[in-house]
């Protein structure tokens, strides 16, 4: 099997959540989902609508920007969306999939992007819910990712509940979780890891019935991601380690 880094594992498995003929959104500070959406556009033999926080609708950018908010992501768009349009799609039940960031995720698929520590005297004050507090409960499916798989990011108890509702999946450098019957369950794990390692590095208990090593990247997935990150800048900046 070709080498599968933590970076390419996350991007590829985020891309695999995209479905034909659906509307998919990637937001601010979301370089990995942005890449995943571009991978899905070029590596899969189906069409879907890609909307991004820069306002682009099925854009044809002249380059792949480091920032997921770069106006280049609106180049060649079929139309231009504003923030209000994203929220409107969600609340009308027409946003099929959105990628939303999180600092902490619990076993119920709830997220924290508000504070680490006590609310009144936090160790770290985070950016806050922003659009995620609206989109997580109202999008048909939401997916998040963590570049660190550890008991401090995948937790039994959130320090603060910023948003809850439509969480569908979580991707880390070593695992893919899916929500089933109200809780996150393990869907698959990185072939270089193991089920025991995933359990040891996860703060909440989870079921793993039917889980198995993740299918390796296809030739098309690997080729497109290699082209999108030809200089390796995204992978270096992400600095993701399997262990």
Torsional sign, CA 182, 108, 137, 57: negative
Count of H helices and E strands in the chain? 7, 13
What integer pLDDT is reported at residue 130 of this predicted model? 80
Range of the domain at 75: 6-235
In a domain, 18, yes or no: yes
**What per-residue confidence (pLDDT) applies to 207?**
97
CA-only gyration radius of the chain, Å: 17
Whether 60 is covered by a domain: the verdict is yes
Q: What would the pLDDT profile of 46-65 be if each residue is shown by its tens digit?
A: 999 999 998 899 999 999 98
Q: Which of 56, 67, 131, 55 is nearest to 99 (CA)?
A: 131
User: Is 11 domain-assigned?
Assistant: yes
1 within a domain of the structure (yes/no):
no
207 close to 185: Cβ distance less than 8 angstroms: yes
> Regarding beta strands 121-125 and 115-118, do their DSSP bridges make them parallel or antiparallel, or are they unpaired?
antiparallel
Domain-embedded: residue 242: no
**8 Å CB contact between 134 and 91:** yes
Domain count, the chain: 1
Quick: pLDDT tens for 112-166: 999 999 999 999 999 888 888 889 999 999 999 999 999 999 999 999 999 999 9
Structure tokens at 31: 């370089």
18-22, 37-41, 179-183, 238-242: least confidently modelled range: 238-242
Query: Which is more confident, 165 or 188?
Result: 188
For the record, the structure tokens of 165 come out as 């509702």
Kind and range of the H or E element at 97? Answer: strand 97-99
From the list 222, 199, 218, the residue with the least C-alpha distance to 35 is 222
> For residue 174, what is the domain's CATH number?
3.40.1080.10
User: What does the pLDDT read at residue 86?
Assistant: 87
- Bridge partners of residue 170, in order along the sequence: 144, 177
Residue 220 inside a domain? The answer is: yes
Distance of alpha carbon 223 from alpha carbon 220, whole angstroms: 5
Whether the pTM exceeds 0.85: the reply is yes
CB 144 within 8 A of CB 30: no
Whether 240 has a pLDDT exceeding 80, the answer reads yes
What's the average model confidence in pLDDT over 13-40?
95
DSSP-assigned states of every residue in 104-172: EEETTS-EE-SEEEETTEEEEE----TTHHHHHHHSSEEEEE-SS-STTTEESS-SS--B-S-EEEEE-
Looking up tokens 């401090």, which residue turns up? 152
CB 99 within 8 A of CB 25: yes
- The answer to whether 99 touches 36, Cβ cutoff 8 Å, is yes
């Amino acid at each position: 099997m070709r080498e599968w880094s933590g970076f390419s594992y996350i991007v590829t498995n985020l891309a695999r959540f995209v479905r034909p003929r659906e509307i998919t959104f990637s937001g601010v500070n979301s370089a990995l989902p942005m890449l995943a959406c571009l991978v899905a556009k070029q590596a899969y033999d189906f069409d879907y609508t890609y909307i991004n926080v820069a306002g682009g609708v099925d854009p044809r950018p002249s380059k792949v920007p480091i920032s997921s908010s770069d106006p280049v992501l609106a180049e060649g768009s079929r139309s231009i969306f504003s923030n209000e349009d994203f929220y409107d799609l969600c609340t009308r039940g027409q946003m099929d999939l959105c990628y939303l960031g999180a600092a902490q995720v619990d076993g119920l698929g709830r997220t924290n992007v508000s504070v680490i520590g006590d609310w009144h005297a936090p160790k770290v004050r985070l950016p806050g819910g922003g659009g995620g507090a609206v989109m997580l409960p109202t999008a048909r499916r939401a997916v998040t990712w963590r570049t660190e798989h550890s008991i401090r990011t995948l937790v039994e108890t959130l320090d603060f509940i910023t948003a809850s509702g439509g969480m569908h999946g979580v991707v880390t450098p070593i695992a893919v979780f899916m929500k089933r019957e109200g809780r996150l369950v393990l869907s698959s794990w990185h072939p270089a890891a193991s089920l025991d390692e995933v359990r040891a590095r996860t703060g909440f208990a989870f079921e793993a019935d039917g889980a198995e090593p993740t299918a390796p990247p296809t030739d098309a997935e690997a080729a497109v991601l290699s082209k999108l990150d030809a200089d390796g800048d995204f992978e270096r900046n992400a600095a993701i380690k399997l262990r």
